[in-house]
Amino acid sequence: MAKKQKEAIFTPIGNDGSNNGKIEKSVDLPKPTKKSHKDLGLSDKDVVGMFEQMQLQRRFEERAMQMYQKGKFGGFLHLYIGQEAVSTGTVFALNDDDDIITAYRDHGWGLCRGISANEGMAELYGKATGCSKGKGGSMHFAKTENHFWGGYGIVGGHIPIGGGLAFANKYQDNGRIATCFFGDGAVDQGALHETLNMSQLWKLPCVYVVENNGYSMGTAAHRHTVNEIHERSKGYGMKSAVFNGMDVFTVYENMKKIAEEVRKDSMPWFVEIRTYRYRGHSMSDPQKYRTKEELEEYQKTDPIQRLKTYIIDNKVATKKKIEEIEEKIEQSVLDSIDFAEESPFPDDEALFEDMYAGEQFFHDKK
Ligand SMILES: Cc1ncc(C[n+]2csc(CCOP(=O)(O)OP(=O)(O)O)c2C)c(N)n1
Ligand SMILES: [Mg+2]
């Protein structure tokens, strides 16, 4: 009797990256909100501010990519391009002193939480004027005084720290919540599940958010994980949501509601925000795992273009005003390159500084 042929575990991808002629959508985008900015309680100024912020993140990274390609700095460089509505909608929805922690795709988050283009670019160049004094680089942007805790390179490794931030807020009874962002590649890491369990048990005020951008390095989400990601919450009896991350109003609307609930009830949430990264995983990625057509499909939903059209069509601001903002941002990013290039590298002694938390505490004890 002929042996039954083994079922293929993976759908084969053509060697030319064509996926055998099929356009495979790696992430299904739920429908965006139909509400206007006024329905959401946003002023015209807020909307223009959202545009400005997303445009800054985009131009900063496009220029950073160019400088990297010119060999101006090295190391890893993971770009957030395409995902800007997630950071921007969230930061507008949260209070300024709510905590944010994320993985290594962190430039957009840092800029949104008040790292200037100068401080960001200098950090990429490893200069002492950078947001992490030039000792963190691309993956370790941070601005703790603005409650942005970085920037972590180990997939899922920062998730318990996110839970810890929420624990501290609860312990200090300060009314703040924590938000912890990570990629679809982190959803099967043990650290996530240990943290979800303890968070539900201890009623921690934390929003755990998967930024599902379709891929974990070169592996599409449906090839590395079973079921719908947001359903992970069920095992912990945790409240959850899934929504579109290519529309800044949708992110704002949902994150605002969730943050209010988390603050009121002191209970965690598990959220999946669906988005898409336009560039490779990092700078050395030939992107054989997806087609040009797939990328172009998602680019049609571009969050910045979408908001720009909304602003002009609804007369929130004039086309001229938008162009002025674009020019201003372009100039600030170009200036940041000069600033980074002219800044000094950290002194040798800096190697021994910032090694331990509470150094000040130890000094005080001496
Ligand atoms: C524990 C661990 N395993 C493997 C890696 C190597 N690695 C770096 S990024 C990455 C993919 C993560 O993808 P995802 O979580 O979806 O985030 P994205 O890059 O899409 O933002 C992997 C496997 C790592 N950094 N840490
Ligand atoms: Mg991913």
* Domains by residue range for the chain, with CATH: 48-347 (3.40.50.970)
Q: What pLDDT shows up at residue 4?
A: 54
Q: 206-212 and 269-274: which strand pairing?
A: parallel
User: Measuring from each residue's beta carbon to the nearest atom of ligand 1, which residues come in under 6 Å?
Assistant: 105, 153-155, 183-186, 213, 215-217, 281
Q: Is the pLDDT of residue 20 over 90?
A: no
Q: Are 142 and 131 in contact (CB under 8 A)?
A: yes
pLDDT tops 60 at residue 173: yes
Residue 360 has what pLDDT? 58
Residue nearest to atom 2 of ligand 1 (CA): 155
Q: Is the pLDDT of residue 151 over 50?
A: yes
- Output phi, psi for 7, to 5 deg: -70, 135
- Highest-pLDDT range among 16-25, 83-92, 226-235, 352-361: 83-92
**pLDDT tens digits along 37-66:** 999 999 999 999 999 999 999 999 999 999
- The band of 113, judged by pLDDT with boundaries at 50, 70 and 90, is very high
Position 356 scores a pLDDT of: 83
130-134, 176-180, 356-360: which range is least confident on average?
Answer: 356-360
pLDDT category, 2, cuts 50, 70, 90?
Answer: low
Please answer whether residues 32 and 249 qualify as being in contact, where contact means their C-beta atoms are separated by less than 8 angstroms.
yes
DSSP 105-123: --HHHHHHTT--HHHHHHH
Mutation probe of ligand 1 site: the residue of 216, 275, 283 with most atoms within 8 A of C-beta:
216
Does residue 32 register a pLDDT over 60? yes
Pocket test for ligand 1, best of 80, 109, 155 (most atoms within 8 A of CB): 155
For the entire predicted model, the pTM comes to 0.93
